[in-house]
Chain A
Amino acid sequence: MTTASKTGPAPPLVLTPYLFLLPAMLVTLAVVLWPVAETVWMSLHNFILFKPRNVPFIGLGNFWRLLNDEVFWLSLGHSLVWISLVVSLQFALGLVTALLLNQSFWWRSLARSLVIIPWALPSVIIGLTWTWMYDFNVGVLNDVFVRFGLIDKPVAWLAQPTSAFLSIVVALIWQGFPFFAVTILAGLQTISAELCEAADIDGATRFQRLRFITLPAIADVIATALLLRTIWVANSLDVILVMTGGGPGYSTYTLPLYAFLKAYSGMEFGYGSALAIMLTLLLLLVVFVYVRRAAKELDQ
């Protein structure tokens, strides 16, 4: 089939694309694929960093230990609540923002630029500025809430289990809703104006237009954004690390944070690796769905 009449120049050597890919593959191999293989290896050993000569093979011992580890189940539970709360609220706020920004008014492009700002900030700053606002003694949130009569006296937001957890959720919503807003906005702008006008002429109310025209038209965009964000939120641990470090007690532990702390502070690299692999396995389904959608692009 490929030897059909060739009038143009000879096709480039088949080797060319592989050569072009070589540098990227080498880097990836060194810093991603090899380390991941190493993680699998470590998870099967009792690897403790300061005992490099004594690394016994323990098979699935780490995973067995994990099933009986209360903190693992606690972290997993937190992770699930954390993901569903953060992603759904980021999405809700992002959708509302996008619908507002999709109308025409004079300060629209300014609003669009300003709303996007939290997205650009590093998580350490997000942790810092929210910790500062939640401050017990002179924090601005306590001041505002007391002034408006919402609370009688200042609350130590980050020092109590439930409020600490919810406080971090709020900070994460702040960081992530701009992503939903701009992504959904980009989707909204592809909806033809004629379609809305036709519905308008047919007497559809604004809610009906939203329900039957707008939302179905951007369903794909929303699904992709939700999948991406779920993966991202499930993996993120830096804001929690900065704001509470998991505390008070274990009340803000999530799975990636637990894995990280086990390795970083506990020096238990074997067990930390097992936790990381567990997280990956749990996420695999979401990643799989996302990749299948994105892979439709490949054959363009």
Chain B
Amino acid sequence: MTDRRSPLQRLFELHLPLLLIVLFALGPYVWMMMTSIKSNADIGAWPVRYWPDAFTTEHYHALLERTSFGVNLLNSFVIACGACVLGLSVSLPAAYAFSRYRFRGRRLLMTQFLVINMFPIVLIIIPLFVLMRNIGLLDTFIGIILGHSTFAVPFSIWMLTSYINAIPKDLDEAARIDGATTLEVLRLIILPVVMPGLVTTGIYIFVTSWNEYLFAMMLSGQNVRTVTVALQLFIGEFSVQWGLLTAAGTLIALPVTLLFLLVQKRLVSGLTSGAVKS
């Protein structure tokens, strides 16, 4: 539709308000990154020194050399990858079953996966701690990965089911007529076509697991501390060292921001496919 508003009107009704919103969205993020490259003198200045004379990487050096943050980054990476692999590998066959078969209990089971995705974390986390403690999985990679599968599995099942639903059934049937078994259909026909959806879902799980704090804190100790838990401990430990804290924050936030921006378009269309009918 043609816009009959004058440029001035568009400036006040579109560009300026949106610019304010973008500033609001970006402001805290940019401020965190700015703080991480300022010297301690500039950080502690009052009134606030917005643009210092010189920038520094001293906080990043201190963070990686004097603390265990490097190890924490690695831990988080391992756990996020593990949550991805576990989540996707059990969810893909389940999603295939939900999409291609009509069987007794299908509705109930699908609803179940939807409902457990909405359970309060506190409902699961308290007994999960007791359980992990009893079977000796507290403070292990596998323990936290299992903890993260509480949200990774139901989420992936719903996402992948909607992606597989979008693949025409004719493809399966054609392959079957050529004599392919069900597993072959899944591996040779479905998997390649659903790959973009699988990657999107995987990245979302990765980001969520990387960002996750409560399970990681509850289920980890000295051995497999993740970045979010480590950062929270730093806040207590180095309470006034904002340079160090914001450097850690920046290192945690940058990779997930990039991943998220990479998949956001497809992710949103997947997440909203239930709500939006086009």
A residues within 8 Å of B by Cβ?
8-9, 12, 14, 16-18, 20-21, 23-25, 27-28, 30-36, 38-39, 42, 49, 93, 96-97, 100-101, 103-105, 111, 113-126, 128-133, 135, 137-140, 143, 146-147, 174, 177-178, 182-183, 186-187, 190, 193, 196-197, 200, 220-221, 224-225, 231, 234-235, 237-238, 241-242, 256, 259-260, 263-264, 269, 272-273, 275-277, 279-280, 283, 287, 290-291, 294-295, 297-300
Contacting pair A295 B21 (CB below 8 A): no
User: Can you pick out 17 interface pairs between chain A and chain B where the beta carbons lie within 8 Å of each other?
Assistant: A17-B97, A20-B94, A24-B157, A32-B119, A97-B18, A115-B22, A123-B213, A124-B231, A128-B231, A132-B246, A242-B213, A256-B121, A263-B122, A263-B125, A263-B129, A269-B130, A279-B122
Contacting pair A263 B261 (CB below 8 A): no
Query: B136 at interface (Cβ–Cβ under 8 A)?
Result: no
Q: With the chains together, A34 CA to B116 CA distance in Å?
A: 12
Which B112-150 residues have a C-beta within 8 angstroms of A? Answer: 112-116, 118-131, 146-147, 149-150
B33 to chain A, nearest CB (A): 10
Contact A291:B29 (CB < 8 A) given known A38-B130, A273-B127? no
Query: B276 at interface (Cβ–Cβ under 8 A)?
Result: yes
Contacting pair A21 B94 (CB below 8 A): yes
A24-B157, A122-B252 given; name 7 further pairs at CB < 8 Å: A28-B112, A34-B127, A120-B256, A121-B211, A125-B231, A137-B44, A260-B214
Q: With the chains together, A109 CA to B246 CA distance in Å?
A: 28
Partner of A20, one of B15, B93, B116, B118: B93
B143 to chain A, nearest CB (A): 10
Contact A105:B14 (CB < 8 A) given known A117-B29, A123-B213? yes
Contacting pair B124 A36 (CB below 8 A): yes
Q: Determine the chain A residues whose CB is within 8 A of the CB of B113 once the complex forms.
A: 24, 28
Q: With the chains together, A24 CA to B91 CA distance in Å?
A: 6
Contacting pair A125 B32 (CB below 8 A): yes
Contacting pair A187 B272 (CB below 8 A): yes
Chain A interface mostly: helix
Which B234-278 residues have a C-beta within 8 angstroms of A? Answer: 235, 242, 245-246, 249, 252-253, 256-257, 259-261, 264, 268-269, 271-272, 274-278
A216 to chain B, nearest CB (A): 14
Contacting pair B43 A138 (CB below 8 A): yes
Top 5 closest pairs, chain A to chain B, by CB? A122-B211, A120-B260, A38-B127, A20-B97, A17-B97
Q: With the chains together, A277 CA to B127 CA distance in Å?
A: 12
B residues within 8 Å of A by Cβ?
1, 3, 10, 14-15, 17-18, 21-22, 24-26, 28-29, 31-32, 35, 43-48, 86, 89-91, 93-94, 96-98, 100-101, 103, 106-107, 109-116, 118-131, 146-147, 149-150, 153-154, 157, 162, 165, 173, 176-177, 182, 207, 210-214, 218, 228, 231-232, 235, 242, 245-246, 249, 252-253, 256-257, 259-261, 264, 268-269, 271-272, 274-278
Q: Determine the chain B residues whose CB is within 8 A of the CB of A200 once the complex forms.
A: 1
Contacting pair A138 B44 (CB below 8 A): yes
Q: Determine the chain A residues whose CB is within 8 A of the CB of B120 once the complex forms.
A: 234-235, 256, 259, 276, 279-280, 283
Contacting pair B46 A137 (CB below 8 A): yes
Chain B interface mostly: helix
Please give me the residue from chain B that is nearest to A221 by CB atom. B275
Contact A36:B96 (CB < 8 A) given known A125-B252, A283-B118? no
Partner of A31, one of B15, B150, B242, B269: B150
Q: With the chains together, A34 CA to B130 CA distance in Å?
A: 12
A163 to chain B, nearest CB (A): 18
Please give me the residue from chain B that is nearest to A258 by CB atom. B122
Partner of B213, one of A39, A122, A277, A299: A122
A66 to chain B, nearest CB (A): 14
Q: With the chains together, A66 CA to B214 CA distance in Å?
A: 24
Q: With the chains together, A128 CA to B238 CA distance in Å?
A: 12
Q: With the chains together, A33 CA to B210 CA distance in Å?
A: 24
Q: With the chains together, A238 CA to B217 CA distance in Å?
A: 11
Contacting pair A260 B93 (CB below 8 A): no
Contacting pair B153 A97 (CB below 8 A): no
Contacting pair A18 B245 (CB below 8 A): no
B3 to chain A, nearest CB (A): 7
Q: Determine the chain A residues whose CB is within 8 A of the CB of B256 once the complex forms.
A: 120-122
Q: With the chains together, A118 CA to B264 CA distance in Å?
A: 12
B16 to chain A, nearest CB (A): 10
